Amino acid sequence: MLWSFILSFLLSLISLPIIRKISIKYNIIDKKSSIPYFDGLSIIFSLLLCTPFNIFQKFYIIIFGFLGIYLDLKTINYLIKLLIEALLGYLATSQYLSNPVDLIIAILFFIFIVNSIQNKEEKRKPLSIVFLISSLFLVLTISVPFNKYFLLSISGSLIAYVVYNFSIRKVFLGNTGKYAIGSIFGISVISSLSKGYIYFFASIIVLLPYLLDTTVVMFRKIIYKKHLVEDDKNNIFDKVFKKVKDRRKAEFLFLIIYLIFSLNGFYFLYYPYISLVISVLFSIFIIYKLELFKYDGDNK
């Protein structure tokens, strides 16, 4: 499996500056923020070229890649997007599950995971490191060995992003990269259901801060009568930043939160009841301390 990690790192290290230069040269950038599109293609290339061949997995990655590229350039009707995700979710989950009830639950979880990753606003946050932490711990908690290759491929690619963004943020995952990561996270977690609930719940705990953030955003929009598809800038990072008033401290605490959940997900494999209590208590602490249900306005 190590070869998938190493090759993905090298491929992304080489391809990222090339993709960035092409995007800038042909003015394929966000007009408001001047962020180049398509840096996330390096994730797609790594998943296609640096993992074992499986016709379904490659097709699946390509479709999500095209969807991400389209969303980087244009908007799409939210219901159509959910329908595409549900269809791909069904194709993915039906490989591992056959019970209709399990399938429905798995598809809903898959859509939820994909959107929890894809909806993460990237410009101000160290998402590459956060996704890297989650990916590496998912390798330890999922139960299907084949999917570990894809998680390690993502991890290798993300290290290249961390390298290029070490001093200043220059490359961005965009919807293309985040959709690829979300889909692999989703299928890896769902596939663990076929081997037993302990692996599934351990993986869910690793991803719990993403899911918690998305859940709170949904409830907050309902409470404050906001449109459900409207952007929300009151997520965990913004709440942390509001508390500490310092970008570096906020990034450090943001990473610590995700690292604690990831470690606790791995801990769940050995001491599930204790891990579950820690997850609940830490989630309640974060919600209370950061006032996640409170709407602070459209933070910039």
pLDDT, one tens digit per residue, over 8-22 is 999 999 999 898 888
pLDDT at 300 over 50: no
More confident residue, 50 or 94: 50
Distance of CA 20 to the CA centre of its chain: 22
3-state SS, residue 273 = helix
Classify each residue of 94-107 as buried b or exposed e, where b means 16 or more C-beta atoms within 10 Å of its C-beta.
Answer: ebbbeeeeebeebb
Query: pLDDT confidence of 102, banded at 50, 70, 90?
Result: confident
- Per-residue pLDDT tens over the stretch 157-204: 999 999 988 777 778 888 889 989 999 999 999 888 877 789 999 999
What's the pLDDT at 227?
67
Query: pLDDT confidence of 232, banded at 50, 70, 90?
Result: low
**Tokens found for residue 86:** 């549900």
Residue-range domain boundaries for the chain? 1-204
What's the pLDDT at 262?
96
Distance of CA 55 to the CA centre of its chain: 23
Distance of CA 147 to the CA centre of its chain: 16
